[in-house]
Amino acid sequence: MAVTFLCIASYYKGSQFISEAHKAGHKVYLITSGKWMHKPWPKDQIEDIFYLDADKDNHWNTDYLLSGIAYLMQTTKIDHVIPLDEYDLEIAALIRETFRLPGMGQTTARYFRDKLAMRMRAQNAKIKVPGFSSLFNNEDIAKWLHASEGPWIIKPRSFGGTIGMTKCNTPEEVWNKILKLGNERKDYLIERYIEGDVYHADSLCFNGKVLFTLVSKYLAPPYEVIHDGGIFRSVVIPYDSSEEKAISKLNEKVLHAFGMQHSTAHTEFIFANDGTIYFLETAARVAGANISELIKAASGLDFWKEWVSIESKINEKKNYKLPKTSKLYSGIITSLSKQQKPDYSFMDDAEVVWRLDYDYHIGGVFRAESHQRILDLHDKYAVYIQNNLLSSASPLEKRAE
């Protein structure tokens, strides 16, 4: 049965979803910002594209947006609203609630977008999180700082990635930062900066059940990569290892507590140096940074395709069945490159299954039956990139992309 999807993309993102939906015989309408008009959207696979002008903060006027959708709906029935970028989750929830469409509503969407809401929810569900505080009340903050141990990190409640984070080592630094935030301070939170290895669990969920989870580990935490211009690396961790079992279990607990019904999810955990696993954050989307390629190499699952399948099964009121998966190991490495079109001949091992094709970037995904082989390849490529290609740009420049 053909499903009509209304895809929302405030960034140029998620073309894979559109293509997979088109391949499966569904109809796709796309709403994006005028400034992405010239991006290579798969236009022949889209019924119609609507462009909205974003303000300087990349926000759309929601009145225009809702009026435009109301107009479209007069003649076209929409079955599902799909946010293609993390930033679009709230907008999609608003559209669903306004037009009474099925899927995640505004209250649940906050658990997947607002880092303060997710921490509070996790804590209520007895899931360990690094110590945190909202920045609402001066007395609360003072008490919390007094009882807590630095360094701390002040982060926005709802920007994706690690943009806008500030590390503070003393209470004075914290208060200065809070003063600087002014009226915006309610949109930030503070938490303890915890050292440890960061893991990500990527899942497929249907009817509130977690049907598939792949657990991987970042070889350098995202914070360091973005702020220090390092190399981004991740690797699937050994299946059935104690970490894998613990993180899978915790991941299910998180998604269940947050009310996840049907979607893909990307959830991060930190294995602190004190041996505790803390929940860091979650998002109801396919992981960014080409992690979907890492997942595909290890499991054979294309998360974009499965997401389309999950959404269409809900509409048909049929059960979604997970395809057969493989249990291989894979690794991903990406970095900025000082060469516009870097020479990939150093990455010619048989295990390499995907290469990043993007100006001034280098990257690949490799897969093997042995976890050790993936780690060896990681080291080999990282050393080469470090010595020959590495260049770094400031995080702000990157997000402007």
Partner 1 sequence: MATFLCLSSYFKGNEFLIACKEAGNTVYLVTSVNLKTKPWALTHVDEVFYIQQKEDDDWNYDDMVTGTAYLMRTHKIDRIVALDDFDVEKAAMLREIFRIPGMGQTTARHFRDKLAMRMKAADGNIRVPAFSNLFNDDDINDFLENVQPPWVVKPRGAASASGIVKCYTAAQAWDIFDSLGHERHNYLIEQFKPGEVFHVDTISDGGKIAFCQSSFYLNTPLEVAHEGGIFRSVTLEYDSADDKMLKNETEKLMDVFGMNFSAAHTEFIKCHEDGEFYFLETASRVGGANLSDMVYNATGINLWQEWANVENAAAKNIPYKTPKRKKLHAGIIVSLSRVKRADYKEFTAPEIQWKLHMDHHIGVIFQSKSRNRVLELLEEYTALIKSKYHASAPAESKPSH
**Applying CB under 8 A, which residues contact partner 1?**
66-67, 70, 73-77, 97-100, 105-108, 110, 116-117, 120, 134, 136-140, 183, 185-186
Bridge partners (DSSP) listed for residue 32: 9, 51
Rounded least distance, CB 98 to partner 1, Å: 7
Residue 135 or 368 having the CB closest to partner 1 = 135
Rounded least distance, CB 259 to partner 1, Å: 10
Residue 179 or 400 having the CB closest to partner 1 = 179
At 213, is the secondary structure helix, strand, or coil?
strand
Rounded least distance, CB 83 to partner 1, Å: 16
Rounded least distance, CB 103 to partner 1, Å: 11
Residue 178 or 294 having the CB closest to partner 1 = 178
Helix ranges, 87-210 (H): 89-98, 106-113, 115-124, 138-147, 171-181
Rounded least distance, CB 182 to partner 1, Å: 10
**C-alpha to C-alpha distance for 182 and 204, rounded to whole angstroms:** 40
Residue 95 or 377 having the CB closest to partner 1 = 95
Rounded least distance, CB 55 to partner 1, Å: 14
Residue 141 or 365 having the CB closest to partner 1 = 141
CB-based contacts of 250, cutoff 8 Å, min separation 6? 127, 269, 277, 279
Rounded least distance, CB 125 to partner 1, Å: 15
Residue 110 or 296 having the CB closest to partner 1 = 110
Give the tokens for residue 130: 């690094």
Give the tokens for residue 108: 């649940």
Length of the chain: 401
**C-alpha to C-alpha distance for 1 and 327, rounded to whole angstroms:** 32
**C-alpha to C-alpha distance for 333 and 234, rounded to whole angstroms:** 7
Residue 37 or 73 having the CB closest to partner 1 = 73
Element (H, E) at 62: helix 62-75
Residue 183 or 242 having the CB closest to partner 1 = 183
b/e sequence 312-343, b meaning 16+ C-beta within 10 Å: bbbbeeeebeeeeeeebbbbbbbbbbeeeebe
Q: Cis ω on the peptide bond leading into residue 102 (within 30° of 0)?
A: no
Give the tokens for residue 233: 């690396």
Please report, as a single letter, which amino acid is at residue 218. Answer: Y
Rounded least distance, CB 24 to partner 1, Å: 23
Residue 40 or 182 having the CB closest to partner 1 = 182
Terminal-to-terminal C-alpha distance of the chain: 37
Bridge partners (DSSP) listed for residue 263: 205
Bridge partners (DSSP) listed for residue 368: 329
Rounded least distance, CB 171 to partner 1, Å: 17
Residue 120 or 272 having the CB closest to partner 1 = 120
Q: CA angle, 270 as apex, 264 and 271 as ends, to 5°?
A: 125
Q: Which residue has the tokens 């926000």?
A: 59
Rounded least distance, CB 93 to partner 1, Å: 8
